[in-house]
Structures are given as C-alpha cells and as structure tokens.
Chain A
Amino acid sequence: MTATATVVVPPKQRRELDALRRFAPVLVLVGLVIGLTLKRSDFLSIGQQQQLVESAAPLLVFATGMTVVVMCGGIDLSIAAFAGFASLWFARFVPHLGIGALVAVMLLGAAIGTVQGVIHVKAQIPSFVVTLGGLALWAGLALLQDKPSILIASNSSVLALDGRLVGVPRLAILAGSLALVTGLLMWATPVGRWVRAVGSNETAAYLSGVPVVATRIAAFAFCTMCAALAGCMVAIDQTNGSPGTGRTQLLPTVAAVVVGGTAITGGVGGVGRTVVGVLIVKVLGTGLSIIGIGQKWENILYGALVIVAAALTIDGSKLTVVK
C-alpha cells in the first residue's frame, strides 16, 4: 500500500526459510512414503514402485502441460475432456498411421489448444471460462459416435509402448522425458522467463516487448497437446479409446501442480516441482486405498490430507492476498 517499503528480512534467515519452503513438497512426499511404509512394509518394493510410477505417468503428462498454463496465470479445465476426445481419434488413426497416430493426435491437440488460447487472449475472456466451454464441447463431441469405445488392434505397434524397459514402464519413461524436456526448455531458453514474466506482471512484460500473446497461446497449445498425449497413453494402457478416458483427472492435475509448489496465481513454479506434486497426489490417492484403511473414511481422509499437503507446500507468507 504505502511506499511498500521493501520487505527487509535478514538475507541469511530468509534464504534458509526459502530453502525450507522450496523443499516442503519433498518433505511431505517423504513423510507420506514413511507413513505408508510403516503401515505396509512392502510399499517400497520394486513391484509397488513400478506400479506407482506407471500409474503416475499420464497424470505427470497432464500436469506438465498444466504447469505451464498455471505459471502464465491461467488455468485449463478442458484437459480431461479433451483427453477422452483425443483417445478416440488416436484409436481411429492407429490402423492407418501406426505410431504416427500419436503425433497426429498431439498435433490436433496443439491446434485445438491454439484455438482456445486465441479465444482467451484475443477476446480477452478468462481462461477459466474458455476452457470450461471447451470441457463441455469436447465431452459432448466425444459422445457423437456409435461405439462406446474403439479398440486398438492388439498387434498394433503402439501397444509396444505399454511394456517395460529394464524394469521401468515405458510410458513412465515417456512422461518423464516430456517433463524433463519441458523443464529444460523453461530453464535454458527465454521461454521460461517469458512464461514467468507473463504470469507475474503481464503489463510489464508486454511493455518490455515480451511476446505476451504468443507466450500465452503457446502455453495453451502445449497444455492441450499434453492432454492429447496423456489421453493416448491411457488409451494405450487400456488398449482402447473412449470418451471417458482420463475423465477424472482434472482436479488431481491441478492439485498436483499446486501442491508441488506452483502458485495458482501464476509467475512462480516449475515443472520439477510438479513432478513432486504428482507423486504426492498419487501416493495419497492410491496409498490410501492399498493400506486398507477403513474405506468409508477414505474420502474424508483424502480431503483432509489434500488440505494439509497444500497448507504445508504453499508458501502463504509470500502471498499478500490469498484467494
């Protein structure tokens, strides 16, 4: 308000605090894993870990795309619905294009994300609204077909992606590579700065000649492309595409991004944090059901833990206004 005199905190203490904050998500993850291992000793076994990593793969892909959009200060609600839509087209393309179907569907995703981004940026309406409309549109269009699901022929080359490479699920490698490449791009090229600049102070970014419009649109294109990829990954795992593919993944995706430490208000965050967030959400979600707690209480506990995890990982002290 007033000459918002620079918040002066002794540098050393502040650094410690920041470091602690930065690693809070990791600490939460470790705490969860310890808790689960105490309860079920084989939680850390290879089999369990393989399974965890495998099931986390699509969520990581969703969340990687979402991270970029959230860092820009936006949100994309259409990802889950679009993943279902994409999985259908993927299954349809596979007989003709083989592995190329994956590329085709991702391009389709990028194109559609671009459209959503253009509407958001050019018509200047909140991304929440545009993508809410997208959610309805893609969910509706996915239903416009005769069969409830389209099978991917079992001899198809794309199904080879479902195997394991030296014990690590291939899909997880794919997801991990995507996150890694995205993280590298954000770190090593100006794009990451543009994204953070747009998310923190769009006006200043614009007036510095940052390609604000392009950055935003690209973020949405990338996010929808990731959603398409995630949809294909689920389809490969299920060996078919259906409108319901990935349907339930929207809120876990946002939760993973935010719990990982990316501010929902934009500007602050990163793909690395999201990886941790994804693991937290996955360990929470599947962990609760495997350790055999009273399942009646599972939802209540899940909700409570989401809040606790968020409270621990989100640096409230940096937010002057919490919304």
Chain B
Amino acid sequence: MSIDARPAMRSTGVGTSPRRLGIFARRRTANASAVRARATAGERVLKWGPLAALALLCMFFAWRAERFATVDNLKNVLDQSAVLSIATVGITFVLLLGAIDLSMEGIMSACVMVGALLVMNSRNANDWGLFAVIPVVLVGAAFGLANGLITTRLKVPSFMTTVGMSAVGLGVAQLLFDGDQPRVLDRPLRAWAIGRVFGFTRATLVAVVCIAIGVVIQRHTRLGRYATAIGSAEDIVALSGVNVRRYKALAFALAGAFYSIAAVLLFLKQGTGNDELAVNVNFAAITAAVVGGTLLSGGQGGVLQSIVGVLIVKVLENGLLLLDVQPALQRAVQGVIVVGAVVAATWPLRHRLRVVK
C-alpha cells in the first residue's frame, strides 16, 4: 500500500495534481534517458563493432599483404563469400528464433545432388536447366519445414532435431550419389553461373539478391518480425494470439530454402554434384552470424549483421592465405581472431549480473 500515491488521489483527486506529476515526469525522463544512453552505447557497439572489426581487418591486410587491396582480389572475396552468405542468411532466421540449425550440411548435400541430377548431367537424361532451381528449393524448404515441425510439434530441441536431420539429408545425398559423381554438362548454364557482370561473378550477384530478399523478409514481413519477436520473448508473442509454432516452423523452412539456393550455386560453381561439397559450411555460417552480432540467444542481430560476419570470416581466410601464414596455423589463427573479435565487440556489455550461457 502506498502512501506516496494515496494522498494525492485522496485529497486533491487524480486530475488535479498535474503540477506535481509534471515534476515527476521530468525527473523520470531525465533518468530514463540516462539509462537509454547507456543501453544504446552497448547496443551501438554490438551493431557497429563487427563492422569496425571488418574495417580494421581490411586495413591490416591491405597494409601487410600486398595483393589484398586489389580490385580483383576483393571481387574474389565477394565471389568466395557468395555461397556462405546465402546459407548464413538462412540460418540467421533460425538464430533469431533463439534456436539453432545444425542440419545445413545435410540439407545442402541433398539439394546439391537433386540439382546436379536434374540439370543436364552425366548420369541421366534430365535437362531442366535453370528450372531445376524450383524442385531444389522445394526440397530444401521441405527439409527445413520438417525441422520446424519436429521441433515445434514434438518439442524436441532444435539442436537434436537438426543433428538428426543432417544425417537424414546426408543419407539422401548418398543414396542419390550412388558412387557415381554426376557432372554438370549444361555448358550454357555453367557459363551463366560463373560468368561475370561488371566484373562481379553471377554468384556474387545472386548472393546480393538473396541478401536483399533476406533483409526484406526480416524487416518487413510477419515472418521476419515475428521470428525476432519470438527470439526475444516467445511467451509474450504467444499470449498476443500469434501462432508461434507456425512461424517457427516457417522460419526453419525459409532457412532450408536459402540453403538450397546456396547448394545450387555450389554445384554450379563446382560443375559436379558431390555429397561432400558442403562440408564445414554449417560451423562457418554459425561463426559468421555470431561474429556479426546475430547472437545465439535469439532476438538480436539480423541478416545484414550476419553478412558482416561472413565478410569477416572470408576476409580473414583470404588475408591469412595471402600473408603466407603457414597453412596449419591458418585455422588456429582464425579461431583466436574470431574469439578475440567477439570479446572486443561485446566487452562494453559486460556486467556483474549479466547471464551468458
């Protein structure tokens, strides 16, 4: 019971105490804005820190590695980032939910094989050309949807669902592979895929389009906004009458669709269908997303942040190679720098009572 509220109401009535309330309000606002300023300082670091790290890395490599800052090399980095970028756009939606997706390699392998067997290839008489993208995307989305449905309906944590689904995807890829690697014989299609526009490879352009689509979905559609909301406060969203399970499942399906597009690029770039092309993509994508500021706890970050992370990872890879770092050391150095970057980016957020898992 509060004496501090009651006298005002009892004696003078609620409506007649604006003067005092005014004082209160001002004091409160001043205080709140102080809190706000602190919060945004942290948020700003989270938002711009990765970009600053990317800039620093680029500057360092430009200074130390003579070929790094050439137009050709930078275009190369973009080309090499294409597949990972698209896959990372996909996983970003799952991470925004606060879930995780470890099925990327399985789904991509399955999609690679489906795609390679549908375009003109050395194994069968199919010749779907670019139309092969449609069934491939459907396959990817179906895998993702299965992830989502199992996670939401059977209440299996996404970690386990997707570990299992990855094995299923790999299994499907191996069934389709059947010991005979299909070569892509559709020359025009391949030429299109590896061709360049204004010096940028088409893979780069496809990636840019995918990123743009990802940004639009994340920022301007129910699916994207709800995914973020679910990641930060799932129970609240459910209480507002949103069908949380549906949007979760859809986010997984969307991720699967993005993986499948990455898979199409992958086999077109390689010219063959192989169940091993997607090895290591999964951890790379998660690393990129986290380094970029799409945190595993959900609700934070987004497509663009994740892409900054992709560029950090790829620039690092490229720069270390150009720097003549001993091959065995390159991975070790990457690991150290990734941890260092995250430490630096989130250092100002530290607080005694902060819980980080």
Contact = CB atoms under 8 A, between A and B. Distances in A.
A126 B160 contact: no
A306 B164 CA distance: 5
Interface string B155-166: 111111101111
B333 interface: yes
Contact of B338 (A132, A141, A259, A322): A132
Interface string B135-174: 0000000000000001110111111110111111111101
Interface stretch (B68-76, B214-222, B233-241): B233-241
A258 B157 contact: yes
B332 interface: yes
A321 B235 contact: yes
Contacts of A127: 356-357
Main secondary structure of the interface of B (DSSP, over half): helix
Contacts of A141: 328, 332
B356 A126 contact: yes
B167 A124 contact: no
A144 interface: yes
B331 interface: yes
A124 B349 CA distance: 8
Given A120-B356, A264-B159, A303-B171, A139 B343 contact: no
Nearest to A311: B154
Main secondary structure of the interface of A (DSSP, over half): helix
Interface stretch (A20-28, A57-65, A149-157, A292-300): A292-300
A202 B167 contact: no
A317 B343 CA distance: 36
Interface residues of B, number: 66
Interface string B295-332: 11110000000000000000000000000001011111
Contact of A306 (B163, B297, B298, B353): B163
Interface of A: 1, 73-74, 119-120, 123-130, 132-141, 143-144, 202-203, 206, 251, 254-255, 258-259, 264-266, 296-307, 310-311, 314, 316-317, 319-323
Interface of B: 97-100, 102, 106, 150-152, 154-161, 163-172, 174-175, 234-236, 239, 283, 286-287, 290, 295-298, 326, 328-336, 338-339, 342-343, 346-347, 349-357
Given A129-B338, A136-B331, A251-B102, 4 more contacts: A132-B286, A299-B171, A303-B163, A304-B164
12 contacts: A125-B339, A126-B296, A126-B357, A140-B335, A264-B160, A296-B174, A297-B171, A303-B163, A303-B164, A307-B160, A310-B156, A310-B161
